[in-house]
Amino acid sequence: MELTGAEIVCESLLKEGADVVFGLPGGAVLPLYGALSSYPGIRHILVRHEQAAAMAADGYSRATGKVGVCVATSGPGATNLVTGIAAAQMDSVAMVAITGQVPRPAIGRDAFQETDVTGVTLPITKHNMLVMDVKDVAQAIHDAFHIARTGRPGPVLVDIPRDVLLGEKTEFVWPTTTKLPGYKVPGEAPESQVAAAAELINKAERPLIMAGHGVLISHAYGLMTELAEKAQVPVITTLLGISSIPSDHELNLGMSGMHGMAYANIAIDEADLIIGLGMRFDDRVTGRISDFAPNAKIIHVDIDDSEVDKNVKTTVGLVGDLKAVLGQMLPKVEANVHIDWLRHIEELKIQHPSHLVRDSNELLPQYVLQRLTEVTQGRGIVVTGVGQHQMWAAQHCKFTEPNTFITSGGLGTMGFEVPAALGAQVGRPDSVVWSVCGDGGFQMTMCDIATAVESGADVKFAILNNTSLGMVHQLQDIFFEKDYVASEYTANPDFVKIAEAYGIRGIRVTQQDQVVNAVQQAMETAGPVIVDFMVKEDEIVYPFIPSGQSVKEMLEEPAPGEPSSKSSSKRSSTGRS
Amino acid sequence: MAQTNHTEQHTLIALVEDKPGVLTRVASMFRRRGFNIASLAVGNSEQPGLSRMTFVVNGDDYTVGQVAKQLDKLIDVIEVSDITKESIVTRELALLKVTTTPMTRGEIIQIVNLFRANIIDVGSESMVIEITGEQDKTNALNALLQPFGIIEMHRTGVVAMVRGQANGLATGYAGRCNGSVHN
């Protein structure tokens, strides 16, 4: 049967197993919406801003391991996707974005709502394409999904002119293969290199695994834990590697880097071997590169050849799928105990207890997160925005299952927490999804609370409300002589009333003894809930290795009674509701 | 990352899909990663639907290794090879428009003949010279003609080919640089 381009898009989405799309219609993409109504197998979730469509697709993808799909119209619709696409690119998230384009005869004439979106997204997509013939639509969608989900995942944008969606019909033929002669997906690594890596592990006295997002993407968590246990190698996770090993696993040292655990950073400094798995030695992880792991040889396993030797010089670089490579490596790695090394790390934990929260009568944000994670018992999904609350969540939330911590790492996108949590909840409807928000980021995307309500996405929003852009405030505190320009909100809305306005429950928490009850209440309430935690202002995220510095310059939380690294704040407490 | 290697000129060749936007993708990658292209030549290859690109890139081994990997990562790029250390032939075509007077014309023609270059247009006060060869040869001719006054120069950029049976790619970048062991 002959189909329109729009119908072919829908057929192709179903072939690729995409049963949920997040989007917002407009003129150029409207033919696709016209076809959608005939495809009940595809659930369309209408967002309030296209930014949310991209970020929801991102959260959906990370929570499910499937390709997240978002749809927008030409021009402003497409450009509104850009931040979400860039975030997906930085964090290697499988996403397909489908955008309408002005009709072919209008392209290049600055037509109404025309933007060269393949040009705009060229540097922030894994690949993109403009489909100029209805006969190419099926192949384009097939190739897009293949590129998005295989190898190092990433976003792929498919731009389709209106008259390709709704014009000449053609026979729908689902392609049997991709047409991508230049696209290679690594599998196993060369045996000789794997052997060289195993030999380094067997000889190491102070080895450390650094686990990144690739461990989760490649489903390599089981094999990684097996490797760690067999050779008794402690595991450090990057921000995106969190949940690749259970938080309470005795070999899990938590996150390292700029706001990582002090003992994890010191361990890296002392290690004689770093085994980087599916991570990219990003500057937030390494600090000053010349001082990173100065005593260590480095094994780096990544599926993206261009990551190996990019930031740090490796001793052995293995290009391949992490699960496959660990499968090759495990039999070659000898059982070991590393008693002295593990005992030393236990001592470091006692000397540098960065995972503990100090006693205080005030409502500390860290305290809130510790109680929250106790109530959920580390089950369910935590999604965060970007800033202080994100770092505290990374430090204090506990995880028992893979793919349960979803955060914008590489791009650091504020506002991610609302739509990404919505997407995660849509993808995993049986999971409890907590969106840990900053009051800054929440206000960037809170319009899509409406989307959560409409789509029945039962997200619980925990706003750690310090009436400021906390991380900016912290940087001004330490590096800009407490010149808090443009980082304090004096007229935040009442988030409980915001909740009520959206027809959902809102709970305000101002004291420690209300925290557990509020979290339980939120989880017992059907539908989305906003809990507004009025946390202590001016709290600093410790430990802190300032940008471009090393573990030697790490600031740790002063012990009680010790002079704080900062003096009393000059800010007022206006803006509290 | 310590960059201890000295900077030198590398020649890379790539086989790419002949699609709209490929040149933009390649150029955009060079720009956003901060790599400099000394010269770039692109044209049809022996295979329909595929183009061949020759890049001359200045950089140390680390930088050029990154260039090759980032190029190879582009979906439309089928294969990349750094052929600098291979036995290769390279050619570039250049057109030079030189100021002439009745007094200088003879001397210029002598120089052109010495270089086995061709005069392809002669006017009353200028002539256009075509030269094909390695870049050094064009540089030398350019230097000798400078005193007469060069009105315009247009160089195509280098195209390169590995000598012998190999096509420069089958055992090229993808075959050699997949992972690494440094002792």
Q: Quick check: B1 and A189 CB within 8 A?
A: no
Q: Do B75 and A123 touch (CB under 8 A)?
A: no
> How much is the average pLDDT of A198-214?
98
Distance CA A381, CA B134 (A): 62
Q: Which chain A residues have a beta carbon less than 8 Å from that of B182?
A: 313-316
Tell me what pLDDT residue A564 has.
56
Q: A-side interface with B, Cβ within 8 Å?
A: 118-119, 122-123, 126-127, 130, 147, 180-184, 186, 189-190, 192-193, 196, 289-290, 304-306, 308-320
Cβ(B55)–Cβ(B14) below 8 Å: yes
Q: How many CB atoms lie within 10 A of CB A352?
A: 19
Q: At which residue do the structure tokens 């033929």 appear?
A: A173
Q: What percent of chain A has pLDDT over 90?
A: 96
Q: Under an 8 A CB cutoff, do A309 and B62 touch?
A: yes
Cβ-Cβ contacts under 8 Å, B29 against chain A: 123
Lowest mean pLDDT among A460-464, A565-569, B47-51: A565-569
CATH 3.40.50.1220 describes domain A191-351: yes
Domain A365-552 in CATH: superfamily? Thiamin diphosphate (ThDP)-binding fold, Pyr/PP domains (3.40.50.970)
- pLDDT value of position A560: 76
A300 Cα to chain B: minimum distance (Å):
9
Which residue in chain B is spatially nearest to A189 when comparing CA positions?
B179
Task: Say whether B178 and A190 touch across the interface (CB within 8 A).
Answer: yes
Give φ, ψ of A132 to 5 degrees: -105, 5
* Mean pLDDT, residues B115-141 taken together: 96
Element (H, E) at B166: none
The residue of B1, B23, B77, B180 whose CB has the most chain A CBs within 10 angstroms, and thus the best one to mutate to test that interface, is: B180
Show the DSSP H helices in A300-396 as ranges: 322-329, 339-351, 365-376, 388-396
Q: Among A1-10, A547-556, A563-572, which is the least confidently predicted range?
A: A563-572
Confidence at A573, pLDDT banded by 50, 70, 90: very low
- Tell me how far CA of residue B3 lies from CA of A196, A296, A396, in angstroms: 25, 19, 39
Would you state the pLDDT for residue B182? Answer: 63
Return the closest-CA partner of residue A238 out of A372, A380, A90, A63: A90
Residues of A in contact with B77 (CB under 8 A): 182
Q: How far is A358 from chain B (nearest CA, A)?
A: 38
Q: Which chain A residue is nearest to residue B14, measuring alpha carbons?
A: A182
pLDDT at A565 over 70: no
- B17 to chain A: nearest residue by CA? A182
Q: Which of A371, A292, A291, A357 is nearest to A542 (CA)?
A: A357
10 Å Cβ neighbour count for B46?
Answer: 8
Q: Flag if B180 and A316 touch (Cβ within 8 Å).
A: yes
Residue B168 has pLDDT above 90, yes or no: no
Domains in chain B (CATH in brackets) are: 8-87+163-176 (3.30.70.260), 89-159 (3.30.70.1150)
- Would you call B74 and A182 a contact, using CB atoms and an 8 Å cutoff? yes
Q: Binning pLDDT at 50, 70 and 90, where does residue A4 land?
A: very high
Q: Does A267 score more than 90 pLDDT?
A: yes
Please answer yes or no on whether A123 and B1 come within 8 Å at the CB atom.
Answer: no
Residue of chain A whose alpha carbon sits nearest to that of B70 = A306
Q: Which residues pair with A209 in a beta bridge?
A: A235, A275
- Tens of pLDDT, residues A392-448: 999 999 999 999 999 999 999 999 999 999 999 999 999 999 999 999 999 999 999
Mean pLDDT value across chain A: 96
Task: Write down the architecture of domain A2-171 according to CATH.
Answer: 3-Layer(aba) Sandwich (3.40)
**Is this prediction's ipTM beyond 0.95?**
no
Confidence bin at A1 (pLDDT 50/70/90): confident
Q: A316, B79: Cβ pair inside 8 Å?
A: no
Fold: same for A2-171 and A191-351: yes
Tokens, residue A105: 């005869």
Taking CB atoms and an 8 Å cutoff, what residues of chain B touch A305?
69, 72-73, 177-179
* Structural contact between residues A392 and A363, judged by C-beta atoms closer than 8 angstroms: no
Q: Do the Cβ atoms of B178 and A310 come within 8 Å?
A: no
Q: What is the mean pLDDT of residues A204-232?
A: 98
pLDDT tens column, A45-62: 999 999 999 999 999 999
Q: B-side interface with A, Cβ within 8 Å? A: 1-2, 16-17, 20-21, 24-25, 28-29, 32, 62, 65-66, 69-70, 72-79, 174, 177-182
Identify all chain B residues contacting A118, using CB atoms and an 8 Å cutoff. Answer: 21
- A193:B177 CB<8 A: no
Contact A306 B69 (CB under 8 A): yes
Let me know: does A257 contact A285? Beta carbons within 8 Å.
yes
DSSP string, A479-528: HSTT--TT-B-SS---HHHHHHHTTSEEEEE-SGGGHHHHHHHHHHSSS-
Residue ranges per structural domain of chain A: 2-171, 191-351, 365-552
| Residue A299 or residue B6, greater confidence | A299
